Amino acid sequence: MSAVDPRLSINQGTIKHADLATALRVTAEAGVQSIGLWREPVQEVGLATAASMLSDSGLRFSTHCRSGFFTMPEGPPRRASIDDNLVAIDEAATLAAAGAPGSEAVLVLVAGGLPEGSRDLVGARERVRDALGELAPHAAEAGVTLAIEPLHPMYATDRCVVSTLGQALDLAADFDPSVVGVAVDTFHIFWDPDVLDSIARAGREGRIATYQVCDWKTPLPADVLLGRHYPGDGVIDLAGLTRAVVDTGYTGDVEVEIFNADVWATEPLEAVRRTAAGFAASVSPFLSGR
């Protein structure tokens, strides 16, 4: 097998059914140098243990996934969500400190969908802005960047009212770029006719906190959440989007995040190796330097 791109990071969602120990082991064994972790496997072993395991693995830490889900109106559920986001910020800071040199303290935020019985997308987005205002001081103190991730519009009602990179940048605009940035995920934004302009804007504003790649192929499965594919296996112009991100000066890790039942059923080491191979063919040629 050829050398693995040093900028590749495996988002743990790609090997969802692997516990933390397995995820760290197979990522390193496959020659990948970086990993993005998910909160649930970290919490299964406890934050201190997870940080020690990450340190022992020798891997960089690229992102912590995920928090957010704060579009509900004021009340106990919203307070609980804000409190949980504060915990997630501390987790991201601890894990980034435990990772190998070059680790990034980035917490990915998925805003949440419409509250039950609501049709008010504009109001829900404003509550996202309000939540960022509550979280930003703690994130700044902890040295964590909150990365707003826009999701494809098909998720607008049930998962994320932020559908475009432009909307995410508008929400981030009130905050220092080191505290609130954006996640650029090819699966969610490739369709947007303004995507290249939005990537350029994100670069000018210094807000690209993470770049995530996977592919889109139709027909989508019945559960559209699981329609993500290995890089190069679908129709997304990964070359064009990657060039656009590189042109902004982004030099960080590039995560592959795949939600796909067939990928999840693949032995984790094989899934990581297939991810690395697809990345090498469809993304690496358009990257430059770290």
Domain-embedded: residue 234: yes
Domain-embedded: residue 2: no
Domain-embedded: residue 3: no
Alpha carbon distance 112, 17 (integer Å)? 24
Domain-embedded: residue 1: no
Domain-embedded: residue 60: yes
- What pLDDT, on the 0 to 100 scale, is given for residue 161? 98
Residue ranges making up the domain that contains 186:
8-286
* Cα Rg of the chain, angstroms: 18
Domain-embedded: residue 93: yes
pLDDT tens digits in sequence order for the chain, 290 residues long: 478 999 999 999 999 999 999 999 999 999 999 999 999 999 999 999 999 999 999 999 999 999 999 999 999 999 999 999 999 999 999 999 999 999 999 999 999 999 999 999 999 999 999 999 999 999 999 999 999 999 999 999 999 999 999 999 999 999 999 999 999 999 999 999 999 999 999 999 999 999 999 999 999 999 999 999 999 999 999 999 999 999 999 999 999 999 999 999 999 999 999 999 999 999 999 997 44
- The alpha carbon torsion through 25, 30, 32, 38 (nearest 10 deg) reads -40
- What pLDDT, on the 0 to 100 scale, is given for residue 288? 76
- What pLDDT, on the 0 to 100 scale, is given for residue 290? 43
Cis peptide preceding 219, ω within 30 of 0: yes
**Counted domains in the chain:** 1
CATH number at residue 29: 3.20.20.150
